[in-house]
Amino acid sequence: MSWSRAYACCSSPLDMLLIFFLVCIIYVSATNKPNIVLILTDDQDISSIYSMPKTQKLIADVGASFVNSFCSTPICCPSRSSILTGQYLHNHGVFNNSRSGGCYSAHWRTIKEPLAFPVYLQSAGYKTFYAGKYLNQYGSAHKTKNPIPPGWDVWYGLIGNSKYYDYSLVINGKIKHFKNDYFTSVIESSGIEFLQSVGMKKEKFLMVLATSAPHDPFTPESKYKGRFNGTKAPRTPNFNTFTKDKHWLLRLGDVPLPDSMVDTIDTIHARRLETLLSVDDMVEKVVLELKKFNLVEETVIIFTSDNGYHLGQFSLPWDKRQPYEFDIRVPLFIRGPSIKPKSVIYSPVVNIDLAPTILDLAGISTPDSMDGSSWLPLLKKTASNKISPRTFLVEYHGEGNRKSIDEKCGLKDPNLKECRVRNDCKCQDARNNTYFCLRSISETDDLSYCEFQDSENFIEYYDLKTDQYQLNNLRHSLSSSLQNKYSSRLKILQHCSGPICNELQV
């Protein structure tokens, strides 16, 4: 309504005053919404964050750190699908990294992708930007050529899985190949260009920067290669240990690992840390660019990863896909307006909460389609450091392939049919490496209860209050009543949808 029309419809100065205040409220509400930057790494375990001092200084130290941050499934494409939709795996239907398993499938593109959080922000007036790895099968065989997913105004999407050199991007609908340009540097430069554009126009924006680091093939930028030579993977109590009372997959192969394999693990750890140095530089440059346009005080910056990673724990060489803490815990930092510096949040949060949180920042209510919930209220309770209880689901569906591990390793086990071989005859992804876990954290409890869908119907149960490294499987000490309780609640979570997913407690 124009001011002339407003004046015409008003019969008194009081009416005009009321309209004036209403317009002011609407204006303040719109301008109070922050800009949002999400920086997403790939396969980053929490032990590697020490290699990123700039990220700690510029985000964690001036904002909040979540020490109990988890992914709901420890594998790239399903986890990223959960981040985008706020849904558990069983609801978004992306079960693994293959097209047949739902990764960038027709179901994803037509049913789930239109419900991703950027769609809501774009509709609310945010200028949206994405640069980096999207979903593992993005750009592979499908009917739509060079697609730009819904919700994005500016798009720099990596075709396929993580790379550092010799890759192709879909840039606003057109493919461009990069031979010698380091991927993190291209993400950084495109992000800086976007910030300059919105900074000049003073537009509200959402920017996502999704690096390949520190994912396989662990290729550092040339200036950082060798920086961490000699650095060993953390020798935690579960490093290279005997795994007699773990599910069948962990009982395969050499235990402990041979010295040559341990040396390889240490080398991979060093290269992973070196890839993160370029991400650390990118974080610094993004913050400096925001400061240049006086935007840093009205911008929320979130740093996290899609899933964790293991390097030698329980004699598993290197990969993810397991239900243990090293694969499901992820770093999570946030800085922004009204967030108390150096806050530490102990309440558990999950990757399905990220979409509702971003919507909450933009003043948008969480849709009923989302299983997660905003963790912004937790930032207001930092003074007490009390844990808000949470029971959540960790689920994984084994993928496998057409090749049997028997062909290379000669291991005769019926579980090994269609099992991907990697890492000195360690089977990293059998089709029956499928499990559902109840993970619960409160002031009094910290537990993990897992049921495996294998030939043994194996169960693993850990009390992490007393066994931080999950060395002792307490399944034999579970009473039948307690096991039935955990199992029944787990089944509820396996089929939950929407807000009820956050209401269950053990």
Catalytic residue ranges: 76
Rounded to whole angstroms, how far apart are CA atoms 53 and 39?
Answer: 15
Q: What letter does residue 303 receive in the DSSP assignment?
A: E
CB 359 within 8 A of CB 85: no
* Helices (H) then strands (E): counts for the chain: 13, 20
CA distances from 376 to 57, 83, 357, 462 (A): 21, 16, 6, 30
CA dist., res. 233 & res. 45, Å (int): 11
- CA separation for the pair 314, 18 (Å, rounded): 67
CB count within 10 Å of CB 332 equals 24
Three-state helix/strand/coil letters over 415-444: HHCCEEEECCCEEEEECCCCEEEEEEECCC
Residue 5 buriedness (CB in 10 A; 0-12 / 13-18 / 19+): exposed
Asked if 313 contacts 326 with a C-beta cutoff of 8 angstroms, the reply is: yes
Token pair, residue 412, equals 């005769």
CA end-to-end span of the chain: 53
Calculated CA dihedral for residues 274, 277, 282, 284, nearest 10 degrees? 180
Considering Cα of 220, then 329, then 488, then 478, what sign does the dihedral take? positive
- Cα-Cα-Cα-Cα dihedral sign, residues 421, 424, 429, 434: positive
